[in-house]
Structure 1
Amino acid sequence: MASLTSDLLNYIVFRYLQESGFLHSAFTFGHEARINKSTVDGNRIPFNTLVKLVQKGIQYLELETNLSNDDTDMDEDFRFLEPLDLITKNVSELQRMIKEKKEKVQKDKSNADNELDHEREPARDREKEKNGNAGDLEPMDICTDSTSLPCEISSCDVMALEGHTSEVFVCAWSPEGSLLASGSGDSTARIWTIGDGPGNSTIQRMPPNVKVLKHLESRATEENNDVTTLDWNSKGTLLATGSYDGQARIWNRSGLLLKTLNKHEGTIFSLKWNKKGDYLLSGSTDRTAVVWNVKSGESKQQFNFNSGMLDVDWLDNSSFAVGSTDNKIYVCKVGENQPVKRFSGHKNEINAIKWDPSGSLLASCSEDTTVKIWSMKKDVCLHDFREHSKEINTIKWSPTGAGTSNPNKKLLLASASFDSTVKLWDVEQGRLLHSLNGHREVVYSVAFSPNGDYLASGSLDNCMHIWSVKDAKIVKTYKGDGGIYNVCWNKEGNKVAACFSNNVFVFDIRS
């Protein structure tokens, strides 16, 4: 048998980190292991390979131990040994453990049989006395009232967009509403045209109109160009993508590559259009943020920092904020050589930053398990929310309050965490409004509906939930076959897209 190479093992570990949601750890490991130079074809690596490989190894050790045991009564369920035993003990120790445990099981079984013989007859007599000469007992009544349960989304209201051959990390609806973009580890982004009507009777498969945006010229290329982020301009006419190779690309809605923006030397984890659409901002692990002149395709200005950038967001058409792995937030302005504001207070790297709709408040979330609210008028945070117990992946403002089309509704902030919860914050009062506890694994993405009444959440527990913001309850839910990295609403608020493993699912939620 051919040996397992360190190159292949490194790639399997890299994929495990990605699949488990540890994207920053995956990047660091991938950089040190030079995954981008690996000759391993990632499309041949199945989902969850590392866990399956270790599990098979453990089962082999268990089987070897049982087959080597003099006791011919081998248990097929391998219940006598724990995984840690198999990893830390040799075969002779394992054989002795099996023998001792089997002897104990046999002894316990013998004692139990003796006790049962003494109790069986009186118990049978009592049952006869209680039931007279009645025949078989009726089964226990089972409550079938499901009015309190959330409504599971019917398969006829689901469209599966198939075609990606690796994990889909990000998806985004065009402001026009009918186009959906998705970005994957298969080195492609795709633009899907989604019809308005719901499904018929079963899950619909890939619609015929899809544009494949290739980030590799050929499969022979050694580099791995995972699409890590994407963003539509405000008119929905242009799509920007960022990838592992450090290049940003601009495409039209027909999938034609218009510009390749090449200045970064590290992975681009975030890029955003300004509202006017003349600048594109990209943040990279190479410790720089670049403002691009979209028309010329050239760099307008490069900003250098001490650490990598994990998220960026525009305040207005010329000012923006970047969240850094050095635990700080920098507010910069085009034309200024130095940041115009620095925010310090987080104790670990910052995963996401978002300006509120009015541009007066900046929210940030971090590996330090806190959410903080900042104002340009102060040097310290306005609020320091500490109710999460683990790292926080992302935050989203509700499309409500000042500066939105829902000015009479309260402004809220949602945060999603490794602690499996989503939390809703009343920023005006500086308090936790609701803790949404419906997921069982890491929650990696949240998105408000356009009217602010509902919140979609996606988790690595394979579930997509839609919550009523007012009632803090699940009103619709769907369980798929893979973890979810991203969820998003269309502009009409009647469809939600979610990235399930290698596929994108679109849910019609009007029913």
Structure 2
Amino acid sequence: MTFNLNPKNDILFKTIDFGDVKETKNYLNLSNQYYLGRVANRPVTKIEELNCNQKLVVSSYGNLIKTGWFNFDPIESLDDYVYFILNKKKDIILACNRHKICLYSIESKSYYPFYFDSRINDVAMIEDHFFLFAFEKQKYITIYVWNNFLSNIKNRAKYLIGHRDDVNRLCTVDNDHFLSGSNDSTIKYWKISELECIRTFVGHRGMITCLTLLSNPKTFASGSTDMTLKIWDLESGLCLKTFKGHEDYLGDIQETKMEK
């Protein structure tokens, strides 16, 4: 099961007004129970659970990233970021905005901001290996080696070329592979060490707006301005299922579970 965090139409996640902690736990596929009242006054962009302290992290278009389980407080160092991703250990937050990102350590509360001249469409990280960037009006993906980037050596970037229009979305698969979605309506599967595209997924009729790897690591989901959600087989390149019914594009996809 998936749900849409569409900032235009999804009223539920605009206010996050869950009153039942059990309902919240089941619906969002969480390990613990949380109370989600009015966490944000503007559309929510992401909800994810931490491992280290049994809290949630929530971001919104109100330029606040909050954390908590019953009461949610903003992270002071991340007061100007609209979205985030977590590393595998879930002890580092990579927060992003239009022209900057910030690495935030949950344990030490230290933070490291980085600024860019070009507008960021999306960013992904493979911890201790790579940072991946998709910039506005660029058909290629920019890759920085982890240590070079942290040392602010940005002239040693690598580039992956293959899309015919702007790259919008990035999704890591493992330490050497990731997916990219573009305005050209295609999704590409890349091998970083070889700097090559392994496979191209064709089927959407609009720009790719979101990508997520599913719990079955051989499948992933995508959303598009064609207002459909598709499930793909990573190895064969086949579209396994198409879901229709949205009245606007999908802003994000997050996998949940249904308890029997």
Cα pair 1:231 1:271 within 8 Å, conserved: no
The match for 1:351 is 121
Q: Which of 365, 382, 397 is matched with 2:134 structurally? A: 365
**How many aligned positions are there?**
241
Structure 1 residues 239, 269: closer, same or farther in 2, change over 3 A?
Answer: same
- CA distance in 2 between counterparts of 1:228 and 1:435 reads 27
The answer to whether the aligner puts 1:380 opposite 2:156 as a matched pair is yes
Cα pair 2:219 2:234 within 8 Å, conserved: yes
Q: Which amino acid aligns with 1:365?
A: A
Q: TM-score, normalised by structure 2?
A: 0.73
Structure 1 residues 422, 189: closer, same or farther in 2, change over 3 A?
Answer: farther
- CA distance in 1 between counterparts of 2:2 and 2:95 reads 32
- CA distance in 2 between counterparts of 1:211 and 1:302 reads 28
Q: Which of 15, 27, 47 is matched with 1:187 structurally? A: 15
- Measured against aligned partners, the alpha-carbon deviations of 1:118-162 in whole angstroms (never above 9, x if no partner) come to xxxxxxxxxxxxxxxxxxxxxxxxxxxxxxxxxxxxxxxx6889x
Q: Kindly name which structure, 1 or 2, has the bigger radius of gyration based on alpha carbons.
A: 1
The match for 2:164 is 389
The match for 2:9 is 167
Q: Which amino acid aligns with 2:117?
A: D
Q: Which amino acid aligns with 2:179?
A: A
Between Structure 1 and Structure 2, the one with more helix by share is 1
The answer to whether the aligner puts 1:412 opposite 2:170 as a matched pair is no
What is the RMSD of the two structures over their aligned residues, measured on CA atoms? 3.8
Structure 1 residues 302, 284: closer, same or farther in 2, change over 3 A?
Answer: farther
The match for 1:444 is 209
Structure 1 residue 352 displacement after superposition: 2.2
Structure 1 residues 462, 386: closer, same or farther in 2, change over 3 A?
Answer: same
- Measured against aligned partners, the alpha-carbon deviations of 1:83-139 in whole angstroms (never above 9, x if no partner) come to xxxxxxxxxxxxxxxxxxxxxxxxxxxxxxxxxxxxxxxxxxxxxxxxxxxxxxxxx
Between Structure 1 and Structure 2, the one with more strand by share is 2
The answer to whether the aligner puts 1:234 opposite 2:51 as a matched pair is yes
- CA distance in 2 between counterparts of 1:294 and 1:398 reads 26
Cα pair 1:247 1:263 within 8 Å, conserved: no
Structure 1 residue 270 displacement after superposition: 2.4
Structure 1 residue 238 displacement after superposition: 1.0
- Measured against aligned partners, the alpha-carbon deviations of 1:172-203 in whole angstroms (never above 9, x if no partner) come to xxxxxxxxxxx83x3336573437xxxxxxxx
Q: Which of 485, 488, 510 is matched with 2:251 structurally? A: 485
Q: Which amino acid aligns with 2:139?
A: T
- Measured against aligned partners, the alpha-carbon deviations of 1:213-233 in whole angstroms (never above 9, x if no partner) come to 3036xxxxxxx5332333321
Cα pair 1:215 1:225 within 8 Å, conserved: no
Aligned residue runs from structure 1 range 142-161, under 5 A? none
The match for 2:30 is none
Structure 1 residue 418 displacement after superposition: 1.6
- Measured against aligned partners, the alpha-carbon deviations of 1:300-330 in whole angstroms (never above 9, x if no partner) come to 44656xxxxxxxxxxxxxxxxx5x4413xxx
- CA distance in 1 between counterparts of 2:142 and 2:74 reads 35
The match for 1:5 is none
Q: Which of 42, 47, 51 is matched with 1:225 structurally? A: 42
The answer to whether the aligner puts 1:398 opposite 2:173 as a matched pair is yes
- CA distance in 1 between counterparts of 2:53 and 2:78 reads 25
The match for 1:260 is 74
Cα pair 2:15 2:42 within 8 Å, conserved: yes
3-state SS, counterpart of residue 156 of structure 2: coil
Structure 1 residues 373, 159: closer, same or farther in 2, change over 3 A?
Answer: closer
Structure 1 residues 381, 243: closer, same or farther in 2, change over 3 A?
Answer: same
Structure 1 residue 421 displacement after superposition: 1.1
Structure 1 residues 472, 231: closer, same or farther in 2, change over 3 A?
Answer: same
- Measured against aligned partners, the alpha-carbon deviations of 1:323-363 in whole angstroms (never above 9, x if no partner) come to x4413xxxxxxxxxxxxxxxxxxxxx232222226x32222
The match for 1:245 is 62
- CA distance in 2 between counterparts of 1:435 and 1:159 reads 23
Percent identity, please: 17
Q: Which amino acid aligns with 1:387?
A: G
Cα pair 1:230 1:271 within 8 Å, conserved: no
- CA distance in 2 between counterparts of 1:453 and 1:363 reads 21
- CA distance in 1 between counterparts of 2:196 and 2:99 reads 36
Cα pair 1:265 1:286 within 8 Å, conserved: no
Cα pair 2:132 2:142 within 8 Å, conserved: yes
Q: Which amino acid aligns with 2:183?
A: F
Structure 1 residue 260 displacement after superposition: 3.3
3-state SS, counterpart of residue 231 of structure 1: strand
Stretches of structure 1 that go unaligned for 5 or more consecutive residues are 1-157, 170-182, 196-208, 217-223, 305-321, 328-348, 402-410, 496-505
The match for 1:113 is none
- CA distance in 1 between counterparts of 2:197 and 2:116 reads 26
